A and B are shown apart, each in its own frame.
Chain A
Amino acid sequence: MEIEHVAMLARLKLSDDEKGLFSAQVGGIINYIEKLNELDTSDVEPTAHVLPMNNVFREDKLRSSLPREKALQNAPDRDEGFYRVPKIIE
């Protein structure tokens, strides 16, 4: 079922009730967006971005990084200077 695939991609666990509920809701959203396909866009150039701007760059110049303590401050778990996470083997 589509909703189970989407839930898996987002790492969400849904109950059977929720699956039914969200299936209907997501279906409704997609139908609503489908309206856009009614527009004739054959004469419109595809847009890469909503703003008419290209080439926004920075120079290759060093800036100071976060102190490690600050960077690790929000980590739920740590091991010395590392973030510690559940072991994941693909």
Chain B
Amino acid sequence: MQYEAVIGLEIHAQLLTDTKIFCGCSTKFGSEPNTQTCPVCIGMPGALPVMNSKAIEYVVKTGLAMNCEIPGLSRFARKNYFYPDLPKGYQISQFDLPLCGRGYIDISLNGSHRRIGLTRIHLEEDAGKNIHVDQGNESCVDLNRAGVPLMEIVSEPDIRTPGEAAAFMKKLRSIVRCIGVCDGNMEQGSLRCDANVSVRPEGQEELGVKSEIKNMNSFRFVEKALDYEIRRQIRTLQEGGRVIQETRLWNTERGITESMRSKEEAHDYRYFPDPDLMPVEIDPSWAASIREHIEELPDSRCRRYVAEFGLPEQDAELITAEKSTADWFEQAVALGGDPKTLSNWIRGDLAKYLNEDNMQIGECALTPRHLVDMLVLIKEGTISGKIAKTVFEEMYRTGKDAATVVKEKGLVQISDEAGIEKIVDEVLRKSPDEVARFRGGETKLTGFFVGQVMKETKGRANPKIVNELLRKKL
């Protein structure tokens, strides 16, 4: 029997506010434990929360960017449970009236497009952090994160494959980064993902029993964990067993999901409206002023690059995924660079170096001006395409401009025909065997001769002239 998976994602994204959701404590990551707390966020009796307006704006901004309905009225609720990282004994969250209702995100995977529905986006406070010491019967609690504004984005069960789940996460991350509401740092936990997954025989309408997977803190792990879990559920069914509804943790080291062995008792959160917080009303004029501050979104930019610059869709998608990359690219285009050539360099050498150095495009020494100037040198024949790779790396490392690098390193292309001819003659004289074999029909030896000439000239000989001369002389 063929099975299909049904996947829904819940994404938690920390908002880029300076202060916590209900108090003026800093949200800065990585500070000394318990140095960013106050009576409100550590739940001292009598302390009262006051809503950070920026947190509301950021959630509404996200909702608008993800095509969500914005209901006029929203309110906050208490979700009651006991855990050491939750000082008040309840989390302030939203239940029946979230800030954003139904919406969607469009994803593309291997050239095909799909629309994934969103159920809702709501705002809540993050919990603190428990640090479990390996041995011993104690845990340490750091409450710096308690009260950091967190938005939860819930997708419809529209996702069918682990690949689609990863594509959805990537698109979502690209949008929240573009509009500046979340830094999207999965390693530091500012973007976290839980998945609900079930399987059913293909063609069946009714949903199977689902499990919830937690602790997937990279795109790769989202894909791997879902892949494992889908196989596990199918195997269970095929062996005549049944899937039980439970929470499972992704174990990175072992590459499997493991049951958290929760108690049989289902959670009973006893949600009720929080009496300490007033309802929030988003009137149309407020929503409109938030919408005005939404930067051009990746999808729109991507379509524009295809239409305006004639870029292939895959190029456009990669370049627009990161706002800073797209901005950089557009600056270079404005300076006169050919869009497709720029795209090749950005997605090729530049992406490779940035990846190696774990840097963003804006952090490196290379500017759009540098790249465009170098492309002019190639076009004018001052340097060859091959040498350009050396020039590019040097510009990237040092921040020097192309002309300076070419001059300092003596990389000017040799286009003087007589000079090259001398070298070609020398190479042919030194390789009588190869010459004979070439004349005997082994034409692929051309590459060998070009290579020898390039070696002699440290790659600076104009390849066009070298090829012409070889053809003439052989």
- Which A residues are closer than 8 A to B by beta carbons? 5, 8-9, 11, 48-51, 53-66, 68, 71-72, 77, 79-90
State which of B140-148, B287-295, B381-389, B422-430 sits at the interface with chain A: B140-148
Instruction: Determine whether the beta carbon of A48 is less than 8 Å from that of B279.
Output: yes
| B273 contacts across to A, CB distance below 8 A | 48-49
Instruction: Given A9-B270, A87-B139, answer yes or no on A58-B84 (Cβ-Cβ < 8 Å).
Output: no
- Which B residues are closer than 8 A to A by beta carbons? 17-19, 23-26, 32-39, 42, 50-56, 73, 75, 80, 82-84, 97, 130-132, 136-143, 260, 262, 265, 268, 270, 273, 275, 277-281
| B34 contacts across to A, CB distance below 8 A | 68, 71-72, 81-83
A-B contacts, 19 listed (Cβ < 8 Å): A5-B268, A51-B278, A56-B278, A57-B50, A57-B56, A59-B52, A61-B19, A62-B24, A65-B36, A65-B38, A68-B32, A72-B34, A80-B33, A81-B34, A83-B34, A85-B138, A85-B141, A86-B137, A88-B84
Instruction: Determine whether the beta carbon of B82 is less than 8 Å from that of A54.
Output: no
Selected contact of A57 from candidates B38, B53, B139, CB within 8 Å: B53
Instruction: Determine whether the beta carbon of B141 is less than 8 Å from that of A9.
Output: no
Cα distance, A68 to B75, chains bound together (Å): 33
Chain B, Cβ-Cβ closest to A72: B34
Instruction: Determine whether the beta carbon of B35 is less than 8 Å from that of A58.
Output: no
Cα distance, A5 to B280, chains bound together (Å): 34
Cα distance, A88 to B87, chains bound together (Å): 15
| B262 contacts across to A, CB distance below 8 A | 90
| B278 contacts across to A, CB distance below 8 A | 49, 51, 53-56
Known: A53-B278, A60-B52. 18 other contacts (CB 8 A): A5-B268, A49-B279, A54-B278, A58-B24, A59-B54, A61-B18, A62-B18, A62-B26, A63-B24, A63-B38, A66-B38, A81-B33, A82-B131, A83-B84, A85-B139, A87-B132, A87-B138, A90-B260
Cα distance, A59 to B24, chains bound together (Å): 9
Instruction: Determine whether the beta carbon of B18 is less than 8 Å from that of A66.
Output: no
Q: How far is the CB of B85 from chain A (nearest CB, A)?
A: 9
Instruction: Determine whether the beta carbon of A48 is less than 8 Å from that of B140.
Output: no
Cα distance, A80 to B38, chains bound together (Å): 18
Selected contact of A82 from candidates B39, B55, B142, B281, CB within 8 Å: B142
